């Protein structure tokens, strides 16, 4: 049920186009996965997602464990049936949320509620303050209940400003937990229905990144993930870390860069050989009035759009190309849900279509030219190596 075939590798770069076969369908790579954090990509239903071009989406172990619980979802025969999504799903381990939400208060408790132990992470729920523990065995059990095609190993995402001692400690724990997760996956799961990706760490230390990539690759997993990037470091630093990692990973494995979701980051990391991405950004930006066009990221709340009658989108679905920028601006100013939905659908369609263009350029051996053309119009970022 699991297969990955590279159909073509770009000339003069490491960009590659492939086909990822999973129990719930085939995924054309490179691919962007939107985040259905709580069993929903905010404001959109499954039909809308599929029509816009979504091939695979991500669910969040932390949030679904806390509410409604993985046991309840298992009673619905898994997350696919629970949310009526028939295409592939990847679930993260929940470890990142345990770290990132550690200081969210419940009631009057505003203290750090996270404890990292050798055998897992102890944390308090941001919903009700209840105690929980994520061990390798537990996160595998939860994700088995969720029934995702791809589950993730639990890891330690050290802050981007960590010193080498803290980064090494986090990496070693990540390696231990990855090994345990692989073992638990073999014990608990049907290998024909679910696979598990371990995660590379190492903060921004090249030696650690190479060491971690080599270890994670040696575990023999179907695919590998790269964690701990796009968490505050400068973009060139992220790209440098990916450069160090890629030579250590077998070419037949799909490579997933976690938490990355801007067009320039897609271009630069595909250029380096990444196949899969996820991020909450397109819908989160939409809720704040931001949208993409061919030249960069814009904000519809800007006064220059007040009387702009041009379409907000070129997307041919759901009438998105019939709404004017002035109308969508009005909706956002009035906090109308329709405005947020229009921008969410547009942003997702834009990124799905952009990834489709990247894939086609790789298959046609025109990716390097596509990259140059992209930066001729894109205002948000310009790399040094064009």
pLDDT tens, residue by residue, 39-62: 999 999 999 999 999 999 999 999
Cβ atoms of 326 and 307 closer than 8 Å: yes
Strands (E), 154-286: 195-197, 199-200, 224-226, 255-257, 276-279
Q: Is the domain of 301 the same as that of 253?
A: no
Domain boundary among 260, 278, 296: 278
**What is the reported pLDDT for 234?**
94
Residue span of the structural domain in which 368 resides: 286-372
- Taking the complete model, does pTM exceed 0.85, yes or no? yes
User: 215 and 245, same structural domain?
Assistant: yes
Q: What is the pLDDT of residue 107?
A: 58
- Residue reference for tokens 């009673």: 75
pLDDT at residue 97, rounded to an integer: 84
Element housing 169 (H / E): helix 164-188
In a domain, 309, yes or no: yes
Asked if residue 189 and residue 109 are part of one domain, the reply reads yes
Which of 278, 308, 339 is a domain's end point? 278
| Residue at 266 is within a domain | yes
Given a contact cutoff of 8 angstroms between Cβ atoms, the answer to whether 258 and 227 are in contact is yes
pLDDT at 104: 62
185 with 111, same domain: the answer is yes
* Domain presence at residue 23: no
Same domain, 252 and 225: yes
Angle (deg, nearest 10), helices 263-271 and 235-245: 30
Nearest to 222 by CA among 247, 191, 245, 248: 191
Residue ranges of the chain with pLDDT lower than 70? 103-112
Q: Are residues 232 and 318 in the same domain?
A: no
β-strand pairing of 120-124 with 131-134: antiparallel
Same-domain pairing of 48 and 136: yes
Query: Which tokens sit at 219?
Result: 């575990």
By three-state DSSP, how is residue 29 classified? strand
Q: Is residue 7 in a domain?
A: no
User: What would you report as the CA-atom Rg of the chain, rounded to the nearest whole angstrom?
Assistant: 21
Q: Are residues 212 and 77 part of one domain?
A: yes
Does a structural domain hold residue 21?
no
Asked if the structure places residue 380 within a domain, the reply is no
303 and 252 housed in the same domain: no
What pLDDT, in 10s, does the model give residues 61-102? 999 999 999 999 999 999 999 999 999 999 999 888 877 777
Catalytic positions are 92, 278
Which of 278, 295, 324 is the endpoint of a domain? 278
Q: What is the pLDDT of residue 302?
A: 98
Query: How many whole angstroms separate alpha carbon 290 and alpha carbon 255?
Result: 29
What pLDDT sits at residue 326? 98
Statement to judge: residues 343 and 367 lie in one domain: yes
Q: Are residues 235 and 263 in the same domain?
A: yes
| Distance linking the first and last C-alpha atoms of the chain | 39
Tokens of 87: 């295409």
Same domain for 202 and 88: yes
How many structural domains does the chain have? 2
Q: Is 360 contained in some domain? A: yes
Tell whether 16 is covered by a domain: no
CA distance 34 to 320: 19
CATH for 209: 3.20.20.105
């Amino acid at each position: 049920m699991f297969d990955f075939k590279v159909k073509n590798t770009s000339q003069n770069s490491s960009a590659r186009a492939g086909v990822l076969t999973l129990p719930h369908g085939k995924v054309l790579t490179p691919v962007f996965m939107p985040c259905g954090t709580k069993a929903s990509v905010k404001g959109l239903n499954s039909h809308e997602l599929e029509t816009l071009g979504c091939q695979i989406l991500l669910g969040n172990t932390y949030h679904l464990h806390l509410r409604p619980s993985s046991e309840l979802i298992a009673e619905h025969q898994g997350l696919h049936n629970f949310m009526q999504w028939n295409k592939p799903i990847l679930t993260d381990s929940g470890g990142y949320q345990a770290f990132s939400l550690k200081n969210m208060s419940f009631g009057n408790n505003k203290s750090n509620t996270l404890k990292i132990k050798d055998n897992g992470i102890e944390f308090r729920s941001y919903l009700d303050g209840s105690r929980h523990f994520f061990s390798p065995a537990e996160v595998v059990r939860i994700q088995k209940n969720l029934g995702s095609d791809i589950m993730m190993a639990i890891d330690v995402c050290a802050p981007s400003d960590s010193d080498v001692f803290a980064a090494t400690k986090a990496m070693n724990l990540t390696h231990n937990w990855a090994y345990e997760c692989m073992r638990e996956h073999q014990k608990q799961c049907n290998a024909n229905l679910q696979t598990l990706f371990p995660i590379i760490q190492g903060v921004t230390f090249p030696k650690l990144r190479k060491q971690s990539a080599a270890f994670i690759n040696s575990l023999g997993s179907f695919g590998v993930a790269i964690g701990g990037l796009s968490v505050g470091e400068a973009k060139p630093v992220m790209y440098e870390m990916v450069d160090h990692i890629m030579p250590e990973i077998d070419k037949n494995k799909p490579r997933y860069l976690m938490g990355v979701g801007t067009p320039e980051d897609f271009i630069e990391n595909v250029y380096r050989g990444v196949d899969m991405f996820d991020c909450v950004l397109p819908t989160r930006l939409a809720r704040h009035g931001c949208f993409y066009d061919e030249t960069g990221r814009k904000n519809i709340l800007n006064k220059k759009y007040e009387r702009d009658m041009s379409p907000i989108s070129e997307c041919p679905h759901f009438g998105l190309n019939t709404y004017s920028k002035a109308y969508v601006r009005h909706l956002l100013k009035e906090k109308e849900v329709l405005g947020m939905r229009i921008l969410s659908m547009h942003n997702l369609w834009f990124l799905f279509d952009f990834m489709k263009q990247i894939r086609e350029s790789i298959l046609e051996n025109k990716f390097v030219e596509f990259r140059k053309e992209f930066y001729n119009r894109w205002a948000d970022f310009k790399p040094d190596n064009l």
